[in-house]
Amino acid sequence: MSSTGNYYRNRPANHDADKPLLSVEGGLDIKCPVLFVRALGDSIVTDELVNKMGEHVSNLTLKNVDASHWLLWEKPEEVNGHVTEWMRGQGLIN
């Protein structure tokens, strides 16, 4: 298995290590603007995961790309278009 696959096999340990963060006073809500570009063909990033993200990221922009996990290699122009559009909307570029 590749090192990328090993990352996902380690998810239970990562979850256990991060669990104490759930008890942080005031919660773990992310309030700054966040762009998440989702690969629709990625079997790891499920609808459930994406929906939960919205519960904790109040200023989330979600864009979908019809690609597998490697969306940056499969659809670079589309991904870069989403990033550029989002950055313009945030006033980061003209």
d(CA 40, CA 68): 7
**CB-CB contact of 88 with 94 (8 Å):** yes
This prediction's pTM: 0.75
Residues 83-89, mean pLDDT to the nearest whole number: 97
Write out the DSSP string of the chain: --HHHHHHHTHHHHHHHHGGGGGSTT---B-S-EEEEEETT-SSS-HHHHHHHHHHBTTEEEEEESS-TTHHHH-HHHHHHHHHHHHHHTTS--
The tens digit of pLDDT for each residue in 22-73 reads: 777 766 788 899 999 999 999 888 888 888 888 889 899 999 999 998 999 9
pLDDT at 65: 97
